[in-house]
Amino acid sequence: MFKEKFKEGIISAKQFNREDIEYLLKKGREMRAIKNSNILNGKILATLFFEPSTRTRLSFESAMYRLGGNVIGFHSGEVSSIKKGESLADTIRTVENYCDCIIIRYSLEGAATMASRFAKIPIINAGSGSGEHPTQALLDLLTIKEEIGTLDGLNIGIMGDLKYGRTVHSLSILLSNFDVNVYFISPKELMMRKREKEFLYQRQLKYKDVTDYRNLLGILDVLYMTRIQKERFVDLEEYDRIKNFYIFKKTDLDETKNSFKLMHPLPRINEIPPEIDGSEKSIYFRQTNYGLHMRKAILAELLID
């Protein structure tokens, strides 16, 4: 059923209802117990990364190898024939002949949607400009479910670059399937955009916009921090002005509940100091491990015949 619904791939968090998410969370949990397997023996994944990545590309590649499959691809537009002027559509129509699934990261919103229109195999959106990054959001929910035990009844702060942050767009959309209170915490220049908010309003997500996170520290179950993304700014002076707007402090951690969890999709710059990495409340590196298991689950569901 999952495979049929997602036969064109995973392009947006909007494709998922609560049942789909819970199904993948169950599969992600099962994958934690499977280190190596051959269930994807004979399958080939193509990873087409036109923007830099450490976690997304390598966790998908590792997931594929861990399940017995193989990987082809490139990690820079500089080494593909796009550099010679080939269109993305022609690239997709070519690469689909060599693999069973394509993962694409591209600087333009809508690139993964466009790719899925041209492909006859599943496309996975690994980040499209300032749009979405749905598999990051799925691994974020797996992290919360496994670490806290539930996705309902939580107070969740989402902080940083909410305007250009594709991870937070997809995360907010997925959270709209659950009974949560969301606090969007950002400088006014980087507030969640109207287009995302209108969708979340329609989905009846309970959210508030705030600038200062400190008053929330005592009530939050999760604080999901993000990087201010230099590469998305047209005006670098504006970036310089707000790049250090939020820096989480060790003393902030002391004000949080015992069960509080600090998350981040990574990479981080200055917003989380390394001195709090060792806290049981800092779970961003465990989050990267959940990413491997969620991506194993996604590949298995899309690719097993």
> For binding to ligand CP (CB under 6 A), which residues are involved?
53-56, 127, 133, 136, 265-267
Choice between 56 and 176, CB closer to ligand CP = 56
* Residue 75 designated active-site: no
* Residue 105 designated active-site: yes
Terminal-to-terminal C-alpha distance of the chain: 12
Residue 287 C-beta: closest distance to ligand CP, Å: 9
Residue with tokens 């909410």: 162
Q: Which of 27, 43, 56, 135 is catalytic?
A: 56
Q: Which of 14, 32, 55, 93 is catalytic?
A: 55
Residue with tokens 């409340």: 281
Q: With 0-12 CB in 10 A as exposed, 13-18 as middle and 19+ as buried, what is 218?
A: exposed
Q: Which of 27, 43, 75, 133 is catalytic?
A: 133
Residue 226 C-beta: closest distance to ligand CP, Å: 9
* Residue 84 designated active-site: yes
Helices vs strands, H then E, count in the chain: 11, 10
Choice between 153 and 267, CB closer to ligand CP = 267
Residue 10 C-beta: closest distance to ligand CP, Å: 14
Residues 6 or more apart whose Cβ sits within 8 Å of residue 154: 144, 148, 178, 180, 181, 221, 222
Choice between 66 and 133, CB closer to ligand CP = 133
Residue 272 and residue 282 in contact, taking contact as beta carbons nearer than 8 Å: yes
CA angle 159, 270, 149 (to 5 degrees): 45
Residue 152 C-beta: closest distance to ligand CP, Å: 25
Choice between 136 and 282, CB closer to ligand CP = 136
Q: Which residues are catalytic?
A: 55-56, 84, 105, 133
